Amino acid sequence: MKKGIALITVLAFVLILSLLMVPLYVSVLGMTSTLRSIQVLPAKHEAFAAGLNVVRVLIVNAQDMKTSTTIELAQGPIVVTVSLARSLDSDLSLQGIDCGDTAEPVDKMRKCSAVNYWDVTVRFKDNYVLTGTAVQYVMFQPDKDYVYLLDFKEKRE
Amino acid sequence: MRRKMKGFTLLEVVIALVIVAILAAGTLPALSNINKQSFQTEIDLNLPSVGQAALNGQSSATSLYADLTDTTTRSVSLLTNELVKHSATVSSKGYTYAIDTLYADVGVGLGSLGAGSPFEEAGTASHEDTSTTPVIITPTTTHTEPTLGIANLLDSQVCSDNEKPKGDDQDKDNKNGDDHTFGPGYVQVNSKGDGFIDYGLIFPVQSSASGDNYVIVAIPGNTELANDCGHKGDCKGVAYSFVAFINKKQKSAIENKVCKPKSNENGIAKLLSTSTSLTAAESGQGNGGSYYFPNGTASTASIIYKYKFVAKIEKKLYWSMHFVIKFMDGTPLQNQWVRIYIPNSSGEVTTEIPAVIGEETATTTTYGRAKIPVSYDAPSGLLAWDSITFDLSENASVTVEVVSASKAYVFHATGPANPLKISLRQYNLPPQDLSITFYIDPIDNTKPATINNVQIFYWQKQSP
């Protein structure tokens, strides 16, 4: 009778060992992924914070219903896009132009006392996207607008 | 019957150990990198956070986090679209991480919308920007002439005076002796009117990035044969106007060599002469190095000929040159000179060398940095400093340092911008006296750079 270990036994043993390694592999993978994610957090946060400041600049200086700009930062480019979603008349003091029906939409948006709602997207490195709403209170002159940023959340693409 | 032994033989154990050792050896390279990898991981994780902290924390973070990083730098610059960019760079062990963020004060509420207004409690915040009397900073660029510092010249001497034999109280040709003066990027040796130069200089020469080490000698094309070059012992049979030179790596090796390079034992360049048939484009070689004649002939006295002397061995940083030059009879005093153009700190001669007599008197005007401090006393009822505006000319690069109490910020911008606005609102400067310093640098230093019409805006309580 032959002595020794059958091939099937060896294979089974190897298979069991491999299966035991799977949780370990998953753990290491998870840790690596977490570390990478933590590493990118400061860059992402500052990019988004910068993007929200750009949002205010774009909205206050908007010459069109939709505008977009790309700015290079050390940690990567951000693309900021704002588009007018809704515009309401305001009961605040008006400027001396005709803000009635005859006003051009852009003039009305820019110069007439109003509340404008903008859809905002800040895209960082094409991977990270921040979306939300900006509310613009158009006051007495263009550079006295107030822009409030609301409901921003990140979505991963 | 002999009982059969159980267990492994020694040979089997040894073989097993060898196999295990071979397998283990394969993991050694990976293990040896563990320390390095863990350190790298730590740096990868730390630097972004440190950078972010530097970005948002202090106005000047150069020495911050010294325990975590090698260097941390922070800068502020103004973008054209009303945005202020804050940048931080942190480095550690050769790894560098840079991070930026942007600020803008447009669209930010200041008092009139109630909730959250920092001035709401005051109740009387003014909406009017109040301006002080404009401060006009007139063009205040400095005018400098780049000169070769005297400190660069290690030694100089009239050689014939030094070498003349006893009893010979006046050199035959070099009656007036010689002297030297400095111009933009060069030393000029003057004959002092006797039409003869016999002068030695010792000076250091920088090497360029490529390792070349050279000087350029410029001389008007009006030299002639020098049958008697000062004292006869100087020429050692060289019957031309000539430049002899040696160079050494060590300063100490050349300190006593002024006037010494005067024979063929060193590099010696015969200068083109209107009274010889010496051909142009000729070159020579000596122990000191090589030299190149210029193209052309010496028949035109009004042309300035340029000779390039290159060290034989790279990085011979100390040179001694001995000029023995006889000018043609009737050569005007202002043309009796030789110039030595010595490379700048980059190892290059960048000064423009005139080609024709007369052009060499052209002066170069350059503009340097201007520093203008401006102070503002806090006005009565000051709530906050709002902004600074000024007109920045083309070619201007300005750094503005703003200090109020213990808070200091630095901004940088380039012109033209009319006006340029620096918003101070976002920095919450204390409502105290404000000190501003403008540092204006020309981008092209041959053109002026100016700022003017500086105005400061602030918010103050309305009078009851």
Q: Kindly report, residue by residue over B4-25, the tens digit of the pLDDT.
A: 667 778 888 898 899 999 988 8
Q: For chain A, what is the total number of helices (H) and then of strands (E)?
A: 2, 5
CB spacing of A57 vs B113 below 8 angstroms: no
Encoded tokens for B148: 């070769």
CB spacing of B108 vs A56 below 8 angstroms: yes
Domain-located, residue B410: yes
CB spacing of A46 vs B100 below 8 angstroms: yes
Residues B198 and B328 in one domain: yes
Domain-located, residue B15: no
Which residues of A touch chain B, with CB atoms under 8 Å apart?
A: 35, 38-43, 45-47, 49-51, 53-54, 56-57, 59-61, 69, 71, 73-75, 136-137, 139, 143, 145-147
Q: Report which of residues B287 and B206 the model is more confident about.
A: B206
Identify the DSSP state of B427: G
Residues B72 and B138 in one domain: no
List the single residue in B52, B108, B113 with the smallest CB-CB distance to A42.
Answer: B52
- The CA distance from A157 to the nearest CA of chain B, in Å, is 23
Tens-digit pLDDT profile for residues B142-156: 333 444 444 578 888
Residues B443 and B406 in one domain: yes
- pLDDT category at B110 given cuts 50, 70, 90 is very low
Say which residues have a Cβ less than 8 Å from residue A118's Cβ, sequence separation at least 6: A55, A59, A82, A83, A84, A85, A133, A134, A135, A136
Q: For chain B, what is the total number of helices (H) and then of strands (E)?
A: 4, 26
- pLDDT category at B131 given cuts 50, 70, 90 is very low
Residues B218 and B97 in one domain: no
Chain A contact for B83, CB < 8 A? yes
Answer with the one of B361, B382, B404 that is the final residue of a domain: B361
For B250-344, strand residue ranges (E) read 267-270, 283-286, 289-292, 304-311, 318-327, 337-341
Give CA–CA dist B431/B377, Å, rounded.
10
Residues B245 and B293 in one domain: yes
- Alpha carbon distances (Å) from B278 to B29, B214, B227, B236, B297: 69, 23, 15, 19, 8
Say which residues have a Cβ less than 8 Å from residue B84's Cβ, sequence separation at least 6: B76, B77, B78, B102, B103, B104, B411, B422, B423, B426
- The CA distance from B101 to the nearest CA of chain A, in Å, is 5
* Domain containing residue B402: CATH number: 2.60.120
Domain-located, residue B387: yes
Residue B135 pLDDT > 60, yes or no? Answer: no
Residue B427: domain span: 130-143+367-460
Domain ranges of chain A: 41-156
Domain-located, residue B162: yes
Give yes or no for a contact between B109 and B87, defined as CB atoms under 8 angstroms apart. Answer: no
Residue in chain A nearest B49 by alpha carbon: A42
Domain-located, residue B110: no
CB spacing of A46 vs B98 below 8 angstroms: no
CB spacing of B48 vs A49 below 8 angstroms: no
Chain A contact for B114, CB < 8 A? no
Answer with the one of B361, B390, B415 that is the final residue of a domain: B361
Tens-digit pLDDT profile for residues B167-196: 444 456 677 888 888 877 788 898 888 888
Name the helix (H) or strand (E) containing B35: helix B34-56
CB spacing of A73 vs B83 below 8 angstroms: no
How many structural domains does chain B have? 3
Residue in chain B nearest A48 by alpha carbon: B101
Answer with the one of B361, B381, B410 that is the final residue of a domain: B361
Residue B446 pLDDT > 80, yes or no? Answer: no
Residue in chain A nearest B50 by alpha carbon: A42
Encoded tokens for B138: 């007139």
Burial pattern B321-358, b for ≥16 Cβ within 10 A else e, equals: bbbbbbbbeebeeebbbbbbbbbeeebebebebeeebe
Chain A contact for B355, CB < 8 A? no
Encoded tokens for B409: 């910020």
- The CA distance from A46 to the nearest CA of chain B, in Å, is 5
Name the helix (H) or strand (E) containing A154: strand A146-156
Domain-located, residue B192: yes
Chain A contact for B48, CB < 8 A? yes
> Distance between the two ends of chain A, CA-based, in angstroms?
64
- B-chain CB neighbours of A71 within 8 Å are 79, 83, 102
- Alpha carbon distances (Å) from B3 to B6, B10, B13: 9, 19, 22
Residues B178 and B68 in one domain: no
Domain-located, residue B120: no
- A-chain CB neighbours of B116 within 8 Å are none
CB spacing of B107 vs A146 below 8 angstroms: yes
Residues B282 and B309 in one domain: yes
- B-chain CB neighbours of A42 within 8 Å are 48-49, 51-52, 99
Say which residues have a Cβ less than 8 Å from residue B25's Cβ, sequence separation at least 6: none
CB spacing of B41 vs A41 below 8 angstroms: no
Q: Would you tell me which residues 2-41 of chain B have a C-beta closer than 8 angstroms to some C-beta of chain A?
A: 41
- Interface confidence, given as ipTM, is 0.77
- pLDDT category at B356 given cuts 50, 70, 90 is confident
Give CA–CA dist B78/B85, Å, rounded.
6
Query: For every one of its 157 residues, what pLDDT tens digit does chain A have, with 9 covering 90 and above?
Result: 667 678 888 889 889 989 999 999 999 999 888 888 888 889 999 999 999 999 988 988 888 888 999 999 999 999 999 998 877 765 544 444 556 665 566 666 556 666 788 999 999 988 899 999 998 877 644 446 778 888 888 887 6
- A-chain CB neighbours of B109 within 8 Å are 146
